[in-house]
Amino acid sequence: MTSTLRRGWLHLASGAGIGRILGFGSNLLLSRWLGPTDLGLFNLVTTTVQTGDTLVRCGADYALNYELGADPEAIKREAGVELARALAQICTLATLLLCLGLAFWLWFGKGLFPAAMAGSQRLVWSLLLLVMLAFEGISASAWELLLVSHQTSALALRQGLFFPLRLLLAALGALLFGVSGALVGWCLVAALQWGWLKHQLDSRWMPLRLWPPLLQSAKQLLRRGLPFYGSNLLASLIFYPLLLQVASGSGLAEVGYLRVGQILQQLFAFLPTTLVPVLFLQLRSEPSFEGQVARLELPLRLIWLVLLEVLLLYCVLDQWLIGWLFGAGFEAALLPTRLLLLTALLECLAQLVVQPLLAAGQTRLYGLWQNGSALLAALLGWLWIPKAGLSAYLLVRLLYVLLPLLGFAGPVFRHLRAPGQMLTLVLLSLAWGVFLLAQVFSLMALSWSIPLALSAALALLLLQWQDARVLTQRLTPGQS
């Protein structure tokens, strides 16, 4: 791990680590104060906002990182400034159009919220949702400017300050006024975040300056980013409606159980999500694909080791941990949470493995695997979810993550210097995945979880002991 990579990662990891811990505590309060059904409704709203936040970037965020990320001074030059302003225009226009379409769907189409909801309450919740989406969507471009400027200490505040503060005020609002109070608390922090970003970036970020339109720069970003965006768009158009289908067919409580898994998933995935942006910038400075894979190999192996070990230990403790953390009524979240964490493990690996491909500009291969797996997931989801509910949704999502991972791994693994050191990780991941699927289909009792998970965790640590030592050394200041 180079000193630049370590420094950038430590900035983001420290912010994300603090944010995940504080956010986790706030999520526990939300869960206890709302209960499974209201928590499910809150989850539908926040999922809508997060889906919109991904879509409004139109892939231009990836394109900006590709064009400017290798040199932190590039954004200060005339061409870089114009690209940054074009990104802001794209995000703002996309957000406004998305808000307009969402408003029609919420009010005239009676979408998202329960059909029996009173008109006045529907209006209030719809307005709060639109305010949340507007602030978050338009602010998306600002965070990308901090990333390409290599301002990782400022970027860390997104996860370290604003994320937990948003959840904390939502939890306090939920205590006082239920779901309405939770949405108001989120809106207040989203507005505060906007103000801080404007103060931090000043004239470098003018999201409401839409004239004159920077058509050439926007075209340059979209040409590079649309294959990347197309995959995100297709996934959102598939999994968001599938989630709504779970809510309407199986009830909001099922979505509440899903929220429990997502809360734990966020803690589980903080290592790779903080490393990926910094790693991408580092790989962009490496001229050859082989060199990019060489830089990836050790971080990939170490993060795989950590995540698999955490997953196994979680399965030892989760039968009492969920009740202790979230309270009575959430016992049914046990198997959904295990599947979500397995999916998170595979998704994190896919995010890491694909970085050399993205750094080399191979977005067509990325789009092929992502879009193909999304279409297959859509077909299976629409056929299966009405019969199996949340379990089908989670298994379809697992398949959606697994197929691209296999596709991305092929060209990358051919250039690994020590592929044999991955063998234990591959075999144990495969074995534990089969075990969890057997439990989902009631082929194996939950009582087997503790002895098998504990044995697998110990075996993994012994077989990968050298990597465990390297991990400790690499994260210790002063070690190379």
pLDDT tens-place string over residues 347-370: 888 888 887 777 666 667 777 887
Q: Determine which helix (DSSP H) or strand (DSSP E) holds 398, and give its type and residue range.
A: helix 390-413
- The phi, psi pair for 309, rounded to 5°, reads -60, -45
pTM: 0.71
Burial of 71 per CB tally in 10 Å (0-12, 13-18, 19+): middle
pLDDT higher than 60, residue 279: no
Q: What is the pLDDT of residue 236?
A: 74
Rounded mean pLDDT, 447-461: 91
Q: How many residues comprise the chain? A: 480
Residue type, 68: L
Q: What is the pLDDT of residue 250?
A: 66
Instruction: Report the distance separating Cα 1 and Cα 279, nearest Å.
Output: 10
Which residues, in sequence order, are CB contacts of 188 under 8 Å at separation 6+? 169
Per residue in 207-248, pLDDT tens? Answer: 888 888 888 888 888 887 776 677 667 777 777 777 887 877
pLDDT higher than 90, residue 334: no
Structural domain includes residue 479: no
Other beta carbons within 10 Å of 179:
21
Structural domain includes residue 343: yes
| Residue 18 pLDDT class (50, 70, 90 cuts) | low
Structural domain includes residue 53: yes
Per residue in 19-58, pLDDT tens? Answer: 667 777 888 888 888 888 888 888 889 888 988 888 888 8
Burial of 430 per CB tally in 10 Å (0-12, 13-18, 19+): exposed
pLDDT higher than 70, residue 274: no
Rounded mean pLDDT, 184-195: 93
- The phi, psi pair for 343, rounded to 5°, reads -60, -40
pLDDT higher than 50, residue 102: yes
Structural domain includes residue 448: yes
Residue type, 378: A
pLDDT higher than 60, residue 283: no
Q: What is the pLDDT of residue 455?
A: 94
Per residue in 399-417, pLDDT tens? Answer: 989 998 888 888 778 877 7
Q: Determine which helix (DSSP H) or strand (DSSP E) holds 408, and give its type and residue range.
A: helix 390-413
Instruction: Report the distance separating Cα 272 and Cα 300, nearest Å.
Output: 9
- Rounded alpha-carbon distances, angstroms, from residue 233 to 200, 229, 236: 30, 6, 5
Q: What is the pLDDT of residue 270?
A: 61
- Ramachandran sector of residue 59 (left: φ over 0; alpha: ψ -120 to 50; beta: rest): left
Q: What tokens were used for 211?
A: 């004239």
Q: Which domain holds residue 217?
A: 3-474
Would you say 73 and 115 are in contact if contact means Cβ atoms under 8 Å apart?
Answer: no
Q: What is the count of structural domains for the chain?
A: 1
Structural domain includes residue 230: yes
Rounded mean pLDDT, 313-341: 83
Name the residue with higher pLDDT: 444 or 129: 129
Angle at 393 between CA 389 and CA 394, to 5 degrees: 120
pLDDT higher than 50, residue 71: yes
Name the residue with higher pLDDT: 440 or 283: 440
Instruction: Report the distance separating Cα 462 and Cα 370, nearest Å.
Output: 35
Structural domain includes residue 480: no
pLDDT higher than 80, residue 99: yes
pLDDT higher than 90, residue 97: yes
Residue with tokens 């002991």: 465
% the chain with pLDDT above 90: 16
